[in-house]
Chain A
Amino acid sequence: MVRAVSGVRPRVDRATLLAWTRDYGVYVGVAVIVLFNIVFTPNFLSLENFRVQAVQVAPVLIVALGMALVIATGGIDLSVGAVMALSASAIALYLGYGPVVAVLVALVAGAAAGAVNGLLVAFAGIQAIIATLALMIGGRGLALVLVPRLQGIRNEDLRALGSGSFLAVPYVVWIAAVLVAVVVFLVRRTVFGRGLVAIGGNRRAAELSGLPVRRTLLLVYVLCGVLAAVAGVLTTARLQASDPNSVGVLIELSAITAVVVGGTPLTGGRVRIAGTIAGAVLMQLLVATLIKHDLPPSWTQMAQAAVIIGAVYLARDRRRT
């Protein structure tokens, strides 16, 4: 809302400042880090650099989109990394039928994993963090049983998906952009999107308003699973290998961070897709900057921790009533 600044004393109170930082701080952060790099990092302002950063951020961003929807309902999905591993192993197992079948199987596996989460959360009433923790552990275990060691991918089409470009923009980035558009459309324009935000805001009120609460929740988790599977496919294509042991490890934390840093509260009831994109980009640039300046890896972790603490600090206590 626009605040009318009245005459003599333009005192911006603390709460307003905090709220502003929560909503827009992430963009300031991105701007600051970009400026820093322009000045101090060699070759930063090159097309190639944007390509590298965009390609690297795409999987995290795609996972974060699904995560943003889940978090908007007041839930969380810890299993996204494991779903990526499942998707990677499905690719390795089914590539014999050709890339299209393999990718479809990977996406169906993601949907099935999401359905397990969704049913546990929406119908069995298990807390999201517990329900998805089960699949976080079990899913990767299953993926490793299926594909115990890294398998190289030689299929040219799939490798092209990971490294090729269209109009000088990598396929991976195109796919991420399309998915962003789809999710924005879902959130803004559909009953489903409006409903999931309302469920996060006040589940009981949503139920009493006749919204199909459980069906919506189920669908949200399925969507999150499918998006994670897409990320798994892209990572596999880019790596030119299916590696269930390491693909998507700790990506749930990166995704949650991107969502929270982007201004979506963990309590749900709100979703900010643009902020989530900026959050993912911010974390990516942070890591890139530290690598490019060859700072010790422990610094990267500390810098990430600092950003998360800042975001959580800003997001805290927004439900004061």
Chain B
Amino acid sequence: MKFTMTGSQWVGLGVLLSLLIFAVLGMMFSPFSISQQDLNAVLDSPSAVHWLGTDHFGRSMLTRMAHAVGLSFALGVLCVVTSSLLGTALGVWAVWGGKKVDHILGVMVNILLALPGLVVVLLFAAIVPGSFWILYLAISLVQWVEYFRVVRAITQNVIHSPARQSSQMMGFGHWYQFKRHIWPAIVPSVFTLAAFGGANAILTMASLGFVYVGIQPPLAELGLMTVELFPFYSDAPWLLAQPLVVIALMVFGFHLLAGKRV
């Protein structure tokens, strides 16, 4: 299986990697902590000390942005890994496990699909406000359905293909059939879904932060920072712009990485 990336996919990967490097370096080397206040220097414009300025409590924006980007990436990657593994495994199992398994999984998926994704996440977030892990759980729970449906549809064709039938008749086991027949068929779609899923997870977390049910202060989170800095949009527009631009860049990066649509 050869992975050839187009130019725009490289650009997407480049954008994401630079943001990640920014986050890692910012978290490691910044002399300020995310909650360290300096009320003598509120809403400062970028300077030699505070490269990205300070917010309304005089906290270093660079430090806060680095932590927020790091948090978003962590959630995005965790959600993608969990939901793609779960969705792929169940999708293949639904086809392979026979009618009964397919039926039960189908009912489960239909229930999840009937609920709007953001509402499910909101529901979970309301149970344990401010918990990163509950957000992760809720977003993964919503996202695996996509993988399940796509993988199941593709696997259904592969299972009935002469190629797989022939391998089975020659005595090859389930793992071999998955590795040689199913995986090569589903990997492009799973990869595309994963890229979109990463962007969606980040957007969902930011939306929750924006309505104050996601990550709680004083932690730095992109949606939360947006809403906190919102009152100062005329005094310090460069501050409000920072989380917004970064969210847009992350989503842009993931969508470029996805390449063509499924």
The yes or no verdict on A and B being binding partners is no
